[in-house]
Amino acid sequence: MDKFVIQGGSPLNGEVRISGAKNAALPILFATILNPNPVTLTNIPELKDIRTTLSLLAELGIKADKVASGYRFDASEISSTTAPYDLVRTMRASIMALGPLVARCGQAKVSLPGGCAIGARPVNLHISGLQQMGAEVKVEHGYIVADTHGKKLQGAQIFFDTVTVTGTENLMMAAVLAEGQTVLENAAREPEVVDLANCLNAMGAKISGAGSDTITIDGVAHLTASEHAVLPDRIETGTFLVAAAVTGGKVTCTHTSAKLLEAVITKLKEAGADIQASDNQITLDMTKRKLKAVNIKTAPHPAFPTDMQAQFTVLNCVAQGTGTIHETIFENRFMHVPELHRMGADIELESNTAIVRGVETLSGAEVMATDLRASACLVIAGLFANDQTVVNRIYHLDRGYESLELKLNHLGAKVQRVSG
Ligand SMILES: CC(=O)N[C@H]1[C@@H](OP(=O)(O)OP(=O)(O)OC[C@H]2O[C@@H](n3ccc(=O)[nH]c3=O)[C@H](O)[C@@H]2O)O[C@H](CO)[C@@H](O)[C@@H]1O
Ligand SMILES: C=C(OP(=O)(O)O)C(=O)O
């Protein structure tokens, strides 16, 4: 597996173009299953997860032609309703094939997504939502098997016990072609949910309330040809801003929006960064400023995102003072902590809280990347550390960051990909 060899110690400086959001592009790609008419999607990031999704869509009979910065989809015929284990096991987001397949074809067989390092991540709410819409859903031989027995899905009043992002997206897509009205309560409010709703509405869906905790979907009989540009990646943006802060640099992220990551920007300012934001760019300046430790508590949007937790853990590692990091979304999202210990970090882990005491330096070491954002955190640690850091198994980074080493090197970092 590929690894990164990082020579630390250079502050990041310059401009970086932010890609389209992975977590918006993935549900939107699955939404093409719903529409037999042509759909053009742009600002699709070049990522492993996107390639996996395109392979999965191809498996279902959907044709994708490359166009500038995206793809044109032809889902006029769905030739298979099975999402096989081999493709699904590499990417949890594949569960989002379920809702659209059942809505369009009345049946689906989707492999249960494999376990992931950050927690158990059950899909019970996706399943019970479809059952409430009239589908028979069973789990057999590792697959979720759903069938409406020739009927259309029926609109339903669905309350989520826990706020779930892909659960909200899956059921919102299913409801688009259902008979009658569906109301999703305690729905996720993430910007990626709103982007999916905007994309579906551009296809002729009738969705209101996305971005609030109650989403109403009035089912329509069919969808029409459409185009949509995916919103910028707020987590990639936040990752570059933290990398600039940790290395004491000055970086402008372009093609993005501060409105997408207010909680993150608030914490970066509290940590001592100077941040200037305009319409579609954000500049973070940390030159001649001292980083101060901050307290973080992750929670569903608009609170602080769990996908930025690992990056702020490393920020606290090298800041003045002590900061606590409280993870409330996933029960096992501190896999980066033992790796940061190897680099000399001072972190005490108590259940789902990390108490991080800032240290003057981190020392380069060989570390193992576990999940996507833990990997990003180790790369940032390597950029700060003295000497050389080797981040092994960067497979996860390629799932979620487009051309990470090229973008970092353009900002003055020294990151080399070693294939293996
Ligand atoms: C592709 C994508 O968009 N991934 C994001 C999405 O993941 P994902 O949508 O998988 O995460 P969820 O929002 O569903 O998970 C939130 C919590 O709900 C629980 N849960 C979820 C579904 C369910 O049926 N039952 C249940 O108990 C999960 O175990 C977790 O504790 O949101 C997460 C939380 O912001 C992010 O970290 C991921 O980057
Ligand atoms: C956890 C993440 O992604 P996924 O849900 O695809 O595993 C992430 O983007 O940080």
Q: Which ligand is nearest to the CA of 396?
A: 2
Residue nearest to atom 6 of ligand 1 (CA): 165
Atom of ligand 1 nearest to the CA of 169: 9
Q: How confident is the model at residue 116 (pLDDT cuts 50, 70, 90)?
A: low
CA distance 331 to 315: 21
Higher pLDDT, 88 or 319: 319
Number of helices (H), then strands (E), in the chain: 14, 24
CA distance 41 to 133: 29
Torsion of the alpha carbons at 190, 191, 195 and 196, rounded to the nearest 10: -10
For residue 24, what are its two tokens? 């918006």
Whether 293 contacts 321, CB under 8 Å? yes
Residues 299, 328 within the same domain = yes
SS3 at position 29: helix
Residues 158, 244 within the same domain = no
For residue 210, what are its two tokens? 């996305």
Atom of ligand 1 nearest to the CA of 26: 1
What is the structure's pLDDT at 114?
A: 67
Best residue among 91, 239, 371 to mutate for probing ligand 2, ranked by most atoms within 8 Å of CB:
371
What is the structure's pLDDT at 68?
A: 85
Residues 15, 42 within the same domain = no
Residue 156 sits in a domain whose CATH number is 3.65.10.10
- Tell me, in angstroms, the distance from the centre of ligand 1 to residue 31's CA: 18
Residues 168, 201 within the same domain = yes
- Tell me, in angstroms, the distance from the centre of ligand 1 to residue 123's CA: 9
What is the structure's pLDDT at 89?
A: 87
Residues 142, 271 within the same domain = no
Residues 104, 181 within the same domain = yes
Cα atoms in the 13 Å half-sphere on the side-chain side of 152: 14
Distances (CA, A) of 120 to 26, 52, 144, 226, 353: 21, 22, 17, 37, 18
Q: Where does ligand 2 bind, in terms of residues with CB under 6 Å?
A: 23, 92-93, 116, 307, 372-373, 400
- Tell me, in angstroms, the distance from the centre of ligand 1 to residue 381's CA: 26
Q: Which of 201, 229, 257 is at the close of a domain?
A: 229
State how far Cα 20 lies from the chain centre. Answer: 11
Q: Flag whether pLDDT at 183 surpasses 70.
A: yes
What is the structure's pLDDT at 115?
A: 56
Q: Which residue has the tokens 């609030």?
A: 212
Domain that holds residue 315: 3-19+232-418
Number of domains in the chain: 2
Classify burial at 110, counting beta carbons within 10 Å of its beta carbon; exposed 0-12, middle 13-18, buried 19 or more: buried
Residues 109, 192 within the same domain = yes
User: How large a percentage of the chain has pLDDT more than 90?
Assistant: 94
Q: What is the ipTM score, two decimals?
A: 0.99
Residue nearest to atom 13 of ligand 1 (CA): 164
For residue 312, what are its two tokens? 């702020």
Residue nearest to atom 29 of ligand 1 (CA): 121
Condensed to tens digits (0 to 9), the pLDDT of residues 152-170 reads: 999 999 999 999 999 999 9
pTM above 0.90, yes or no: yes
116 labelled catalytic: yes
CA distance 11 to 22: 27
Residues 195, 82 within the same domain = yes
Residues 223, 297 within the same domain = no
Q: Is the peptide bond before 302 cis (omega within 30 degrees of 0)?
A: yes
Q: Which of 183, 203, 229 is at the close of a domain?
A: 229
Residues 107, 196 within the same domain = yes
β-strands 107-111, 82-83: how paired?
parallel
Q: Considering the candidates 105, 116, 199, 377, report the single residue annotated as catalytic.
A: 116
Residues 270, 357 within the same domain = yes
Q: Summarize the confidence of residues 248-263 as an average pLDDT.
A: 98
Residues 104, 223 within the same domain = yes
SS3 at position 25: helix
Q: Which of 229, 244, 263 is at the close of a domain?
A: 229
- Which of 310, 302, 285 has its CA nearest to residue 401? 310
- Tell me, in angstroms, the distance from the centre of ligand 2 to residue 114's CA: 13
CA distance 404 to 310: 17
Q: Write down the mean pLDDT value for the chain.
A: 96
